[in-house]
């Protein structure tokens, strides 16, 4: 398999160190929902990375005291045995790619820069930060991955194996994950940044996350993805997403904001339609989600302000708009939308520059 490397094993000397990476969450416009095989997406997805919503992961590693590796994991300073088990399983799954893992003991501390109560998915930011620290062990101890492009591509590959959407968090700005017909460089195995082709309106996009309900999700996305295997509409959905991804790349180039809005809202509603038509079905949107969507559409119709929405696997609404209309959208939120949000309010975020090495 790509990246399998028996050479990444300590021979006579061992290595220890401490690495810290901060990595962002991202919001998908064209959605990843459904997999073929292990962590291979059924269709390409497109997102932008956020600026404020980050995970920060500190990884300390030392030569293993026993015959196998150990992991000690804390989140916000508190031990998290469930997460720790998941990380151990994940590390074991990487044994052909990073054979050095079994020679080390790990202490991992993670935290989010957004409030835990916000109910924002943190798997993308968390898994991408962890993948970066692993790739940095390779760089630091084996003097490999010295080209930045190679480093981030491998980190994206490793992140995907932990959580698909995390493959898109390795870059700032707009990112594609999944092969798009006719678009060179795109791959099901890792994300790539869309660099040279973005219209200026899309370079400073805003995402205000309206927090409708912040409890835990009722259905894990892993289960949701699996249910696509038996969803009657899956084949058509994947075909639609492939087409939307292709169009979206074009739209980002031309700056056709009406088409952007059409695709983005259709993708959000289709994602939830897939959930509602799964067997068993599940319904993650709340009455407030629907009210917000209706308000957004009425406001757009009335004022011609280019604001639209997208949804994740939950009831919160991401309000998307170019920076040029920020002042009037702020007014719209405070006058109209605020009545529908929970006591946690909203998070004002925007497109961000991607991961940062902190140590």
Burial class (CB in 10 A: 0-12, 13-18, 19+), 76: exposed
Is 45 among the residues that bind ligand DP6 (CB under 6 A)?
yes
Closest C-alpha to 210, from 124, 264, 262, 288:
288
Nearer to ligand DP6 among residue 159 and residue 251 (C-beta): 159
Gap between the Cα atoms of 303 and 51, Å rounded? 28
Closest C-alpha to 28, from 17, 43, 13, 40:
43
Gap between the Cα atoms of 267 and 83, Å rounded? 31
* Chain residues 15-44 in contact with ligand DP6, contact rule CB under 6 A: 28, 31-33
Write the DSSP assignment of 284-314 as a string of letters.
---HHHHHHHHHHHHHHHHH----EEEE-SS
Nearer to ligand DP6 among residue 97 and residue 175 (C-beta): 175
Nearer to ligand DP6 among residue 300 and residue 318 (C-beta): 318
Q: Could you say which of 221, 264, 289, 316 contacts ligand DP6 (CB under 6 A)?
A: 221
* Chain residues 250-279 in contact with ligand DP6, contact rule CB under 6 A: 271
Residue 7 gets which letter from DSSP?
T
Phi, psi of 287 (to 5 degrees): -50, -40
Report CA-CA distances (Å) from 269 to 196, 314, 341.
30, 12, 19
Residues 53-82, one symbol each (x = binds ligand DP6 by CB under 6 A, - = not), give ------------------------------
Token duo for residue 341: 């949000």
CB of 214 to ligand DP6, least distance (A): 16
Residues 287-316, one symbol each (x = binds ligand DP6 by CB under 6 A, - = not), give -------------------------xx---
Nearer to ligand DP6 among residue 15 and residue 219 (C-beta): 219
Q: Could you say which of 164, 173, 315, 322 contacts ligand DP6 (CB under 6 A)?
A: 164
Q: Write down the H helix ranges in 59-147.
A: 81-93, 123-142
Nearer to ligand DP6 among residue 188 and residue 332 (C-beta): 188
Is 264 within 8 Å of 258 (Cβ atoms)?
Answer: no
Residues in the interface with ligand DP6 (CB under 6 A) total 16
Nearer to ligand DP6 among residue 223 and residue 298 (C-beta): 223
Convert 167-216 into a string of H (helix), E (strand) and C (coil).
HHCCCCCEEEECCCCCCCCCCCCCEEECCCCCCHHHCCCEEEEECCCCCC
CB of 226 to ligand DP6, least distance (A): 9
Q: Could you say which of 225, 237, 242, 318 contacts ligand DP6 (CB under 6 A)?
A: 225
**Residue entry with tokens 């194996």:** 161
CB of 189 to ligand DP6, least distance (A): 13
CB of 63 to ligand DP6, least distance (A): 31
Q: Which residues bind ligand DP6 (CB under 6 A)?
A: 28, 31-33, 45, 121, 123, 163-165, 221-222, 225, 271, 312-313
């Amino acid at each position: 398999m790509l990246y399998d490397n028996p050479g990444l094993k300590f021979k006579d000397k061992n290595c220890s160190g401490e690495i810290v990476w901060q990595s962002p969450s991202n919001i998908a416009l064209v959605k990843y929902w459904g997999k073929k095989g292990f962590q291979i997406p059924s269709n390409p997805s497109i997102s932008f990375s956020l600026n404020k919503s980050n995970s920060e992961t500190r990884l300390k590693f030392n030569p293993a005291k026993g015959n196998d590796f150990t992991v000690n994991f804390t989140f916000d300073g508190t031990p998290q045995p469930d997460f720790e088990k998941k990380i151990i399983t994940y590390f074991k799954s990487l044994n052909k790619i990073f054979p050095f893992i079994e020679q080390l003991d790990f202490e991992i501390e993670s935290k989010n820069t957004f409030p835990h109560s916000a109910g924002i998915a943190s798997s993308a930011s968390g898994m991408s930060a962890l993948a970066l620290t692993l790739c940095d062990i390779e760089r630091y101890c084996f003097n490999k991955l010295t080209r930045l492009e190679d480093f981030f591509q491998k980190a994206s590959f490793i992140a995907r194996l932990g959580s698909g959407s995390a493959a898109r968090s390795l870059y700032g700005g707009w990112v594609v994950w999944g092969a798009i017909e006719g678009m060179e460089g795109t791959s099901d195995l890792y994300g790539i940044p869309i660099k040279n082709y973005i219209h200026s309106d899309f370079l400073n996009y805003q995402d205000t996350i309206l927090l409708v309900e912040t409890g835990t999700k009722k259905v894990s996305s892993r289960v949701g993805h699996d249910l696509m295997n038996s969803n009657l509409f899956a084949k058509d959905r994947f075909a639609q997403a492939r087409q939307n991804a292709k169009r979206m790349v074009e739209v980002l180039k031309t700056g056709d904001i009406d088409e952007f809005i059409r695709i983005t809202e259709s993708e959000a509603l289709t994602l939830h339609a897939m959930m509602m038509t799964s067997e068993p079905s599940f319904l993650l949107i709340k009455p407030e989600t629907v009210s917000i969507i209706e308000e957004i559409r009425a406001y757009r119709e009335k004022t011609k302000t280019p604001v639209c929405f997208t949804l994740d696997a939950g009831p919160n609404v991401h309000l998307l708009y170019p920076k040029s209309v920020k002042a009037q959208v702020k007014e719209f939120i405070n006058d109209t939308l605020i009545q529908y949000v929970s006591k946690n309010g909203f998070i004002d975020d925007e497109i961000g520059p991607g991961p940062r090495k902190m140590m």
